[in-house]
Amino acid sequence: MDDCIFCKILNGEIPAKFIHSDGDTAAFYDVNPQAPTHILIIPKEHIASSAEVDSQNSDVWNKILGRAVQIAHELNLDKDGYRMVINTGEQGGQTVPHLHLHLLAGRNLGWPPG
Ligand code: DGP
């Protein structure tokens, strides 16, 4: 997608601090971290939001969720805990229209979210 920030990160047009990249997914640090650890896990395929996941591409859930859990494990986040968040649409707080999962850790995260 030409005007998608995350697609530009994937193709190197915008720099990012990557922690992972494979054929299907990538993970990089959020530019505006909301916790000491704040990583975004995205599919390489441009899917605008969770609302665009259907029976054709639903394997994306396994890919990004599984990758997030693996990264959390590798960063030793299991013991103290972490949160995974997917914002969807305007009221859901989504600002970048490329499906992404936030992995947040390193502080006590309040509930309910704002
Ligand atoms: P959301 O509000 O759920 O759509 O989250 C979008 C996140 O993307 C937000 O936490 C900030 C992050 N972000 C936006 N632009 C960039 C960028 O250019 N680089 C990086 N690393 N993160 C970005």
Q: What would the pLDDT profile of 36-86 be if each residue is shown by its tens digit?
A: 999 999 999 999 999 999 999 999 999 999 999 999 999 999 999 999 999
Q: Which atom of ligand 1 lies nearest, measured to the CA of 86?
A: 3
pLDDT interval class at 2 (50, 70, 90):
confident
| Interval between CA 97 and ligand 1 midpoint (Å) | 10
**Is the beta carbon of 27 within 6 A of some atom in ligand 1?**
no
Percentage of the chain beyond pLDDT 90 is 97
**Residue whose CA is closest, atom 16 of ligand 1?**
31
SS3 readout for 42-91: EECCCCCCHHHCCCCCCHHHHHHHHHHHHHHHHCCCCCCCEEEECCCCCC
